[in-house]
Amino acid sequence: MRGTANRYPMTADMALRIGAAAGRYFRKDGSAAHRVVIGKDTRRSGYMLESALTAGLTSTGMNVLLLGPVPTPAVGTLTTSMRADVGIMISASHNPYHDNGIKFFGPDGFKLSDEAEVEIERLIEAGVEPADPNNIGKAKRIDDGRFRYAERLKSTFPPGLRLDGLKVVIDCANGAAYRVAPEVLWELGAEVIEVGTAPDGFNINKGCGSTDTRTCAETVVTHGADLGISLDGDADRVMIIDENGVVADGDQIMGLMAGRWAVQGRLNGGTLVATVMSNLGLEHFLAARGLRLERTAVGDRYVVEAMRRGGWNLGGEQSGHIVMTDYATTGDGLLAGLQFLAAMIETGQPASALVRQFEPVPQMLRNVRYAAGQEPLQAESVRRVIADAEARLTGAGRLLIRKSGTEPLIRVMAECTDESLLADVVGGIVAAVESAA
């Protein structure tokens, strides 16, 4: 759930109702031994939503453990390690400060199933059903949540390796990892240069982070750093920046990890899971090594669901979600950054030699905004243009058109080795959608 804070549906009233519904869902057996962990990022509205969720949960008998500002993957990890029934992260991820959101994790640390979410939505509609006064839950602040998460992160770094002699820029996007990320890198031996570690409640993702890597890249070059790690507001995404300021997206990072893990015999089923947005170049890179790319719908939850069904252990998104289920239940930007650093140390190669695993096929993405209630993709004129574009791209590329899951946008993406054809195809579809909208 995501939207503008203090506007429906991201209101304190709705958060209270969601908390009460989640409490009813996870206390089906009526016992008093149920608990929930809640983390948040650094948005000002997090205070409001945290308090409202706590009120809703405790009113139905849940005991609440408040972690304060921690990355999203920390909530997944601590939900399991603290034997909680549910974990909740209050964050709008890479969105601007004025947005906020609520993410749920089940007792296994993975995001809730569609079935569980539908049932909680039904309970929201049914209204709050308060517990008996003797069964009202308690709330407790957990002061060492980030330290527990930090120890878990360090345990994933190869034994015997240290970051001594490496200068690393860490960009925390003024978000949830602003304390834990620099601490972990320093404790592993790196010389750490911090960017985006002064949150004020309004500057999360502003001119920094994985969606705006310019400041991080400039800092890497200015300080002669070996690597830049750029996280988003809740630290479940990452972009890697080499010593020359060149940015590697999620596709390049996944390509590196898949190739290394395959050689080491660690890549389950010889398969990498990624979304339909990942570049064709990644698919060709894997095929040349006898590996397979399993594609899913856009969204890290669909990547994880496919990984669990197939028993695969590596997946992610071009946007920087990197999921390694050997270590974590969700995307973890800092974990991926540590694995990249381990690859640098073990190969003895600089970041610039690792960030370009394959040559991407030219890709173009354009967004078209439409008004509520409109269905521009249903227009016959748009369908004709799309059919023509698909025919023109046959054998030379691919086309993907979809609605955004978070905004009223039509996303038009195409890939083609012929860049003039690519521009012509995308331009034609965008013009048709704009006309219909």
Mean pLDDT (10-residue bins), the chain, 437 residues: 94 97 84 87 98 97 97 97 96 96 95 90 89 93 96 96 98 98 98 98 98 97 98 98 97 98 98 96 96 95 96 97 97 98 98 96 94 90 96 92 84 94 96 94
State the pLDDT at residue 31.
61
pTM over 0.85? The answer is: yes
d(CA 107, CA 80): 6
Please state, in angstroms and as integers, the Cα–Cα distance from residue 219 to each residue in 91, 131, 209, 355, following that order.
27, 53, 13, 18
State the pLDDT at residue 128.
80
What domains, with CATH codes, occur in the chain? 2-143 (3.40.120.10), 149-247 (3.40.120.10), 250-332+342-353 (3.40.120.10), 363-436 (3.30.310.50)
State the pLDDT at residue 372.
80
d(CA 97, CA 404): 20
DSSP string for 338-371: HHHHHHHHHHT--GGGTS-SS-PPPEEEEEEE--
State the pLDDT at residue 29.
63
d(CA 318, CA 152): 25
Name the nearest CA neighbour of 52 among 89, 21, 13: 13
Active centre residues (catalytic): 93
State the pLDDT at residue 246.
97
